[in-house]
Every structure is written in C-alpha cells, then in structure tokens.
Structure 1
Amino acid sequence: MEKKIRIAIADDHALFRRGMVSLLNMNDDFTVVLEAANGQDLINAISTTKPEVILMDLQMPILDGIRATEQIKRIYPEIKIIVISMHDEDQFVTRLMELGANGYLLKDADPDEVERAIRTIVTEDYYYGPFLVKVMHNRITNKPIKKEVPKLFVPIDLSERELEVLKFICEGMTTTQIAEVLFLSARTVEGHRNRIMEKTGTKNVAGMVAWAVRNGIC
C-alpha cells in the first residue's frame, strides 16, 4: 500500500476544521494527523505528528497564520503550507507566498481543488490554482508604469543569467525547459534557482514569482 500524505489542519473555527477532516479522511491517499485551533498549538505538535502538508487559516488567536507560516518555514522548510482563507487582497496573498506558502486557496474553493492542490504541492512544491493565477495577473497588469527597465528596480544584485532564469520561472517553465532554452545543464539551472532564492530571501518557486512580480521583473 502506498504511503498516505500526512496532513495537518489549523483553523480556529471548529465546524470548518471538522468538515475538512471528514472530507480529507474520505480520500484513501490522505490522513489527517493533526488538528489545531491556532498557530502556536500547531507548531507545538509538529515534531510529534510530522505532517507533510498543512492547511492553514490566517485569522487565528495566539499565533495567526502569517506568523505561523513564517516560523514553520524557518524551522521545517520541507513542510508544504496551503493557506485557506477568506482574504483575497492581492498584496496580502503575494506576501504569504513570499514567506514560503506553497499555495493559496479561498475558503469557498471546490473540494476537488483542495485535493488537487495537496497532491500538486507534494510532487511539484507549489500549486497555482485559478485564484492565485488571477492574483498574479492583477499584480502584473495593474502595477504602475515604470520608465526604467525592470532590472533597475531590483534592490538585490541578480546577475543577467539569474534574471533570465527568474523570468522563465515566472512563465511557468520547468528546470528542464529552461535548461534547453538557455543551452545549460539542468544542474546549472538549479544552481541559479537556488542562488535566486538565497538572494531574495524566498523559500520556493511561488515565493520567487511573488517577489519578481512585486519588483517589476515579471
């Protein structure tokens, strides 16, 4: 039997939390190993329950989802976080992605999309659903017009090659595809990607794209 995906749910609304537990436990590939009503209880229990994926609300007492995301990604960078919230403000969403969230869903998302997001971030590290794609599109098309070329607005010293790689990442290209276009090895492209994350202080591909959008690169 294949290993089940271990999931934690953090939400201060017991009814929503229990509904998610029931939904996910109906799937033979998932198992809910942790429920928490706030971010602090979640963090306290991670070391013993060892979830692979966390479904995280934002507005919670004691420790909210923003601070919990930041702390978890610092201590447990391998854990995938999907934010599930009622908040749909563009700047708010991109900030969470910069902190390392691997996906962002609204609470009225279809149950099938929740399951699809979980599977996707386990295999691909991030999930860009219709809502997140719309947010990124809004950030790109509605940003103020700048006269200078985008790279002059980057407050971090990215090389020309790193900027190329970052732009291709924004377009959704894989490491292999980028390597083919730039006539580089996949390992070299991975090296550029890792340096970009280090320089920008981001945790994953989603965070890099959010940072690039905010800085006018994509």
Structure 2
Amino acid sequence: MIPLKIAIADDHKIFRKGLTGIINDIKEFDLVFETGNSFDMLNQLSSKKPDVIIIAIKLPGLDDLKMLNYIKSNFEGVRILMLSTIDEGPYIIKVMKAGANGYLSKDSEPEEIIMAIHEVYEKGFYFNKHLSITLIKELLVQPPATIGSKEAMLNDREIDVLKLICEESTNAEIANKLFLSVRTVEGYRTKLFEKIGSKKIAGLVIYAVKNGIIHV
C-alpha cells in the first residue's frame, strides 16, 4: 500500500512538532514537509505534492481565504484539513466554503486527527464532531467538495427516523413522534449508520441532502 503524503503548516513550533510525531508514527502516512508560514507552504506544494495538507487557521503570510482559494485553483487534488483553537461556526463556514475539506480543533485526540486525514482523503470531507447539524446543512448549500456516500436502500420507517435525526431530535423525541420504543429507535439509528456507511451524524445528514430526503 502506497502511504498517503501528508504536509503540515502550523506556526506554533511545539504543536507542529507534536503533530509531526503523530504522523511519523503511522506507517500509512509519509510526511513530505512541514512549515510555519503560508508562502513557504505554497512554494513546496508544487514539488512535494501532498495528498493531504493540515493547515493552521490564521497561518502567517496570506489571508486564510485567499490562501485556500489559491490552493484550490492551482492544486486541485490536494485535500485541506484546517486546524485551530477557534471553534466559531461562522468562521468554519467561511474556510469550508473557501475550499477546506475538513476542520479540527487543536485539542483533538491523535486518533481523531488520524481518522480525519483518512476521511478527507477517501471521502473528500471531514466534519468535526462538534459541528452542529445546522452548520452542516448550511455548508451543504455550497458543498466544499464532491461528497460520496454508500448506496443504501431505506424503507419508509428508516426514512422517517432519518428525517427526524436531521431535525436534531433525540431518540426519545423520535420514539414519541413515531409511536415507537426508544430501543426500537436506537435499532433504526444503528441500521442507518450501517446502510449509509457512516459513523457520524454528519454522514447521515449528507446522505439525506444528496438523496432529496431533506432540503436545505
């Protein structure tokens, strides 16, 4: 298996070295470069051609949105995973619409960072677990990337449950609205994750939007 080529651009040296250590510990990753500013990053992109680049928000050099637009215009194949201590919905929307494929908080566990890298490369997107369904729907009005989903044949009841999940209803609320037990709803939720091929609510929402089950 050919390792994924990863690049890191973060101006905080201690954090960057820690992230470098995480990447170097994973056999299926190949760290092709690391840097602390956007100009050096852009210079190295042409020769190193990473599959995924992890970029700190507000990296010294170019404005984030200009930098993202430039990368997307000149390096179409690279996946961009933004990383920051900022956890503000409106700013996340801006960077995602500008071309980022995913967003992570800097307090993410190493396991989540590794998972996010795989997901942005394989699926073209990664949504942080703290990103609300409301923000996900807003992003899907203008998707940042082509989003693939597993083919799934859902029955009427599964579609009913999926619609309510996309409305951010709890299992208890869904059970009450559909006259089901909470345990039965939990079973439907598990089946939806299996059929759609997602481990997170974001995947269910994306599937529902793409297939016209809900509208944004």
Same fold by TM-score, threshold 0.5 exceeded? yes
Q: 2:23–2:29: 8 Å Cα contact kept in structure 1? A: yes
Which protein shows a greater Rg? Answer: 2
Deviation of 1:177 (Å):
4.7
Aligned alpha-carbon RMSD (Å):
3.0
Aligned runs of 1:46-57 on 2, under 5 Å?
A: 46-57=45-56
Distance verdict in 2 for CA 1:43–1:90, change over 3 Å: same
Distance verdict in 2 for CA 1:93–1:22, change over 3 Å: same
Q: 1:7–1:32: 8 Å Cα contact kept in structure 2? A: yes
The amino acid that maps onto 1:115 is: I
Q: Show structure 2 runs of 5+ residues with no match.
A: 154-202, 210-214
User: Normalization by structure 2: what TM-score?
Assistant: 0.63
Q: 1:56–1:65: 8 Å Cα contact kept in structure 2? A: no
Deviation of 1:138 (Å):
5.3
Distance 2:123 2:98 in 1: 18
The amino acid that maps onto 2:149 is: T
Aligned runs of 1:129-148 on 2, under 5 Å?
A: 129-132=128-131, 134=132, 136-137=133-134
Q: 2:30 corresponds to which residue?
A: 31
Q: Show structure 1 runs of 5+ residues with no match.
A: 144-164, 179-205
Query: Helix, strand or coil for the counterpart of 1:12?
Result: coil
Distance verdict in 2 for CA 1:173–1:68, change over 3 Å: closer
Q: 1:174 corresponds to which residue?
A: 149
Q: 1:45 corresponds to which residue?
A: 44
Q: 1:54–1:80: 8 Å Cα contact kept in structure 2? A: yes
The amino acid that maps onto 1:137 is: T
Is 1:9 equivalent to 2:8 in the alignment? yes
Looking at both structures, which has the greater relative contact order when contacts are Cα pairs under 8 Å and sequence separation is at least 6? 1
Identical residues among aligned pairs (%): 30
Distance verdict in 2 for CA 1:122–1:103, change over 3 Å: same
Query: Helix, strand or coil for the counterpart of 1:61?
Result: coil
User: Normalization by structure 1: what TM-score?
Assistant: 0.63
Query: Helix, strand or coil for the counterpart of 1:33?
Result: strand
Q: 1:125 corresponds to which residue?
A: 124
- Cα-to-partner distance string for 1:76-125 (whole Å, 9 max, x where unaligned): 12100000011111111011111111100011011100000001111111
Query: Helix, strand or coil for the counterpart of 1:115?
Result: helix
- Cα-to-partner distance string for 1:27-84 (whole Å, 9 max, x where unaligned): 1111110111111110111111110100000122222433222210111121000000
Distance 1:70 1:46 in 2: 14
Number of residue pairs the alignment of both structures matches: 154
Distance verdict in 2 for CA 1:87–1:173, change over 3 Å: same
Q: 1:58 corresponds to which residue?
A: 57
